Amino acid sequence: MATATTEPVTEDAPRFSLGVPDIQAVRAAAELPEDVWNAIQGLLDRYLNDATVGPLKAARPVDDLSGLFSGPALERAVGPDRTALLDEGFPRVARLQVGDASAQLTALIGPGGVAVVAADIHVLVTGAVIGGGLTIERSGELHLARDGDAWKVGGYDVSVTRSGPDGIVTTTTTSTP
């Protein structure tokens, strides 16, 4: 089984495109620090590759989500919300294309630094499976916060639509820790 990693995504792996962040700050001239930007980019890229691209290319489940999710969000991600957050249980997908993986960030910055970041995401993945094509479109918001030394998903409101040879299945989920 595959494991969600804390390793950087390889150069040839798909990456999220991040828009100019919307900063909501106590101080008017606040910016998203580079180390936070890099941590958020890494987290979103790992989510894309560990929860969607890797499982689809290898026809394998995702085993460990603790590197991506924390607290109550982790409990729900491994349980009732799994089908909305992960793309597993499909046969191997050929000609996998990530048509879009974009996120618009909103950061809340207080006197102590970045408190939380909301990532408004959109992911569009297409490919071929036995019997026809597969399209997966996921959108929604991931709530990102520090968990120890790492940034993780602490909450989410995500919708996914999958269409393939067997028809269309839509799953919507929310979690508010």
Q: What is the pTM assigned to this prediction?
A: 0.91
What does the pLDDT read at residue 87? 96
What does the pLDDT read at residue 6? 41
**3-class DSSP state of 54:** helix
Q: What percent of the chain has pLDDT over 70?
A: 92
Q: Which residues contact 140 (CB under 8 A, 6 or more apart)?
A: 120, 121, 156, 157, 158, 159
The closest alpha carbon to 90, from 125, 122, 115, belongs to: 125
What does the pLDDT read at residue 10? 58
Q: What stretches in the chain show pLDDT beneath 50?
A: 1-8
What does the pLDDT read at residue 4? 41
What does the pLDDT read at residue 84? 94
What does the pLDDT read at residue 3? 38
**3-class DSSP state of 14:** coil
DSSP state of 7: S
What does the pLDDT read at residue 167? 85
What does the pLDDT read at residue 174? 80
Encoding tokens for residue 25?
């700050």
What does the pLDDT read at residue 7? 44
